[in-house]
Copies of this chain bind each other. A is one copy, B any other.
């Protein structure tokens, strides 16, 4: 934590989806040295650039620095992990290629304990986690549509640093803020994660199971009641796991969602496009965290098993044509 941090860090962004494309694009546009690790999009990004539509201003990044293989990654001061947790089989080689002894790794994935795999490579004290509150979708190659919100709350992952806003954490938040990103440092990443899960678990889960967007779920009296019951169960689960989340957060989330533009969750888009869903990160890990302390959350387990069934069937189905 005592190390000098550069003013213009070299940043590597893993993934160019709804999160990495938006935030990485903003960082590059602000003049930072940003390299994207892209897979299927690499050629498109190199020839046509990265296009972001956003209520805070549309922009095109004409010449992004793109690596299509981990061996092409430069050494980084900060690695932002912004692909989905389901893509993490590629995480260890990417980090091994780009990390120096002082690199920080910021994991912007959804779910519980999603930082564990990065920590296994670089050590927990080099890892931070961030929760993104945003409605953003990748709608085509190199094409991001940001719809609403955009805050990231960031905290230290290592248990030894819990409760602290370290200078390193503050520095990373400052870098992001200088690029116009509403980043906020929080002393307790676990609380931030539970608050995020309190939205993701009901809305991602029910949107896929019932094929419905946020507006449909909020305007039907039954799903509205069910969303709230699930949120209460996440609150109980957080408390069982030792994190104190205030009950009023449920009302805030319900109010915010009711005011939101109708939104198809990223998990619903994954399902509709036959991509793997983050069922383990968002449902399985929290459920098992509860079971480990003797609290088995029945509603979350019901959604988990339903989603596992749908994920398996969807991806094993023969695609016509």
Contacts and interface: CB of A to CB of B under 8 A. Distances in A.
A216 B310 CA distance: 11
A54 interface: no
B210 A309 contact: yes
Interface string A236-247: 000000000000
Contacts of A301: 226, 229
A209 B306 contact: yes
A285 interface: no
A164 interface: no
Contacts of A212: 309, 313
B223 A309 contact: yes
A229 B300 CA distance: 13
Interface in A278-321: 298-299, 301-306, 308-310, 312-313
A302 B226 contact: yes
Nearest to A304: B222
Interface in A209-244: 209-210, 212, 216-217, 220, 222-223, 225-226, 229-230, 233
Interface in A177-216: 206, 209-210, 212, 216
Contacts of A229: 298, 301-302, 305
Nearest to A233: B298
B299 A225 contact: no
Contacts of A206: 306
A312 to B, nearest CB: 7
Contacts of A304: 222
Contacts of A306: 206, 209-210, 222-223, 226
Contacts of A312: 220, 222
B305 A302 contact: no
Contact of A305 (B216, B226, B233, B298): B226
A212 B301 CA distance: 19
Contacts of A222: 304-306, 308-309, 312
B299 A223 contact: no
Given A226-B302, A229-B305, A298-B302, 16 more contacts: A206-B306, A209-B306, A210-B310, A216-B313, A217-B309, A220-B308, A220-B312, A220-B313, A222-B304, A222-B306, A222-B308, A223-B305, A226-B301, A230-B302, A299-B299, A299-B302
16 contacts: A209-B210, A210-B309, A212-B313, A216-B313, A217-B309, A220-B312, A220-B313, A222-B309, A222-B312, A223-B309, A226-B305, A226-B306, A230-B302, A298-B298, A298-B302, A302-B303
